[in-house]
Structure 1
Amino acid sequence: MGKINHEKFITDMIRYASSAESPEHIINQILKYICENLKSDRAYIFEDNGDGTYDNTYEWCREGVTQEIDNLKNVPYDGALEVWFREYEKSHNIMIQDLEEYRKVSEPMYQILKPQGIKTLVTGPIEINGKYIGFYGVDNPPAAYMNNTSVLINMMEFVISMMIRLRDYAKVVERSATHDQLTNCKNRRAMQWVYDTEFDKEQSMMVVMCDLNGLKKINDTKGHGFGDRYICDAVEILNACFETENVYRVGGDEFVVILMGAKPEQIEQYTEKLNMYQELKKISMSFGFAYRHNAKEPFDNLLREADRKMYQEKEKYYREMGKISRK
């Protein structure tokens, strides 16, 4: 007992990593493989939140073992995990063969590990570009597997760090395809979900069309840099009123807001809020609202209605501006 074919283990890791599956799926498959082959209760990955805490982001448990991933969020570095990262610098992995003995090393870590039913543990860091961005490990490998597990933990770091790099790169690519570069708003492509996605059509839908007033004049007289700032200020207003995930930039100065589960009386509330923010920010926008009690009607119908009402508001704005300019 305790003998593991290292060559086969790493070959299998590389085979997983080179598959055509998504990085997220591969990471979970690798953890499953690690957990099963190291006869452990749990295999997991923790990642740096960038605020001095770490989250358990991936986990695989053998049958009958309680999942801990939802309980292990915002684990502090200071006073807890720092003891592990200091040890990583010296030996690159940590092998706990008796948790009760380890209590003498770190009481804070003991208090985190003990409620999880951990008796033995092996963990190693995840390093990217010379910086530790997290760690991974297995809980309760059998005593006979401990030395093998320690060796394999070191060997697995490359594969795990590579998959996290690929995952992060995929997220960047996906975000660039669905978000506007200037404003960070979702773009027209991201709005395609309304046409393609199956969702509860019984819920209400509100569509808001928005167009900035006077942007061309600002670009012509003050420059496009000032115009870009004007657009970004307008987006801050839309995000504050409707929340970021509901706002889409569909043209140079055109935006669409899609609200599911909205109520008709909110139109007046949103209008008052928008007017208040515009006055504070010295931004001028025209809006049009379209509302339906359910989302069964084609989305384009609501979009056209909101667009028509928005242009009515825009015409009204320019008529008023014309009166002012003639005074």
Structure 2
Amino acid sequence: MQIIIRYELVINEALHSALMLDTPDEQIDEFIRFFGKHIGCDRIYIFEDNKKEHVTDNTYEWCHHGIESEMDYLQGVDMDIIDWWYKAFGKKENVIIRDVETIKNEHVYTYNTLKIQNVKRLVICPIRYKNEISGFFGVDNPPIDDHLGLTTFLDMIATLVISFLKIRNSQNKFKREAKLSGYSALGQIYTSMHYINVKTNRFHIVKMERKF
């Protein structure tokens, strides 16, 4: 019970810190930064799935001081490569790797990728939207003795993460629609038709309608 209360306090503090910022992107970055520093891990990140392309993209990342970012290299990752993660998500399970050496033979590609990044252990939790997996939330090299507690922690914040992502998507959609509407309005200001004689370089206006 005390662990749950402690996690709830941290979530409240992280949410308060994030909401001090203006844009959804800034809020998400601050949200995961707060958790990363609190947990004491090397890296914390969010992946969002593109089901049409069957890939997943690292869209947000926080790294501890001295840890190199991997986000630029983790774009368009084929979901089949980590299909065993998605199978676990489908069974409502998290992925907990306490020692990366234990997956060396069974999941070679995942092992090699994590080894290059100096990841020794990790915890991965799915992000669900409308009862479907839409991505995942991960922590590299978390404290050794609290993996189960950490998955509970990540499950609790996954709902808030998806809320931030929904707000971001809504704002992006509104901006796109406003931009297209602006172009359309600009195009309607002048509607004209000209007849041009290319031999004489003369022209006259057939029709012009100006709208305000």
Structure-2-length-normalised TM-score: 0.82
Q: Is 1:252 aligned with 2:132?
A: no
Could you say what secondary structure the match of 1:40 adopts?
coil
Distance of aligned partners of 1:83 and 1:101 in 2 relative to their CA distance in 1, 3 Å threshold? same
Aligned-partner Cα distance in 1 for 2:93–2:128? 10
Give the drift of 1:10.
2.1
Corresponding residue for residue 124 of structure 2: 123
Give the drift of 1:12.
2.1
Corresponding residue for residue 82 of structure 2: 81
Aligned-partner Cα distance in 1 for 2:189–2:27? 41
Q: How does 1:233-252 map to 2 (within 5 A)?
A: 250-252=186-188
Aligned-partner Cα distance in 2 for 1:172–1:16? 26
Distance of aligned partners of 1:6 and 1:320 in 2 relative to their CA distance in 1, 3 Å threshold? closer
Q: CA RMSD in A?
A: 2.6
Could you say what secondary structure the match of 2:145 adopts?
helix
Give the letter aligned to residue 63 of structure 1.
H
Distance of aligned partners of 1:314 and 1:89 in 2 relative to their CA distance in 1, 3 Å threshold? same
Could you say what secondary structure the match of 1:136 adopts?
strand
Give the drift of 1:95.
1.1
Corresponding residue for residue 194 of structure 2: 314
> Contact conserved, 1:47 with 1:56, CA < 8 A, in 2?
yes
Give the drift of 1:59.
0.6
Corresponding residue for residue 149 of structure 2: 148
Corresponding residue for residue 34 of structure 2: 33
Could you say what secondary structure the match of 2:142 adopts?
coil
Structure with max Cα Rg? 1
Give the drift of 1:315.
4.2
Give the letter aligned to residue 12 of structure 2.
T
Corresponding residue for residue 67 of structure 2: 65
Residue by residue over 1:268-291, the C-alpha shift from the partner in whole angstroms, topping out at 9 and shown as x without a partner, is xxxxxxxxxxxxxxxxxxxxxxxx
Corresponding residue for residue 324 of structure 1: none
Aligned-partner Cα distance in 1 for 2:117–2:21? 34
Q: How does 1:121-270 map to 2 (within 5 A)?
A: 121-180=122-181, 187-188=182-183, 250-252=186-188
Distance of aligned partners of 1:149 and 1:178 in 2 relative to their CA distance in 1, 3 Å threshold? same
Aligned-partner Cα distance in 1 for 2:127–2:48? 9
Size of the aligned set, in residue pairs, is: 197
> Contact conserved, 1:93 with 1:154, CA < 8 A, in 2?
no
Consecutive unaligned residues in structure 2, runs of 5 or more? 198-202, 207-212
Aligned-partner Cα distance in 1 for 2:70–2:29? 15
Could you say what secondary structure the match of 1:167 adopts?
helix
Structure-1-length-normalised TM-score: 0.55
> Contact conserved, 1:42 with 1:60, CA < 8 A, in 2?
yes
Aligned-partner Cα distance in 2 for 1:320–1:63? 67
Corresponding residue for residue 200 of structure 2: none
> Contact conserved, 1:93 with 1:153, CA < 8 A, in 2?
no
| More RCO (CA 8 Å, sep 6+) | 2
Aligned-partner Cα distance in 1 for 2:122–2:29? 19
Aligned-partner Cα distance in 2 for 1:254–1:129? 45
Aligned-partner Cα distance in 1 for 2:170–2:117? 33
Hey, which of these two has a bigger chunk of strand by percent?
2
Give the letter aligned to residue 196 of structure 2.
K
Could you say what secondary structure the match of 2:187 adopts?
coil
Consecutive unaligned residues in structure 1, runs of 5 or more? 181-186, 189-247, 256-310, 322-327
Aligned-partner Cα distance in 1 for 2:92–2:105? 19
Q: Identity of aligned pairs, percent? A: 28
Aligned-partner Cα distance in 2 for 1:124–1:145? 15
Give the letter aligned to residue 55 of structure 1.
D
> Contact conserved, 1:54 with 1:73, CA < 8 A, in 2?
yes
Give the drift of 1:55.
1.1
> Contact conserved, 1:13 with 1:159, CA < 8 A, in 2?
no
> Contact conserved, 1:61 with 1:67, CA < 8 A, in 2?
yes
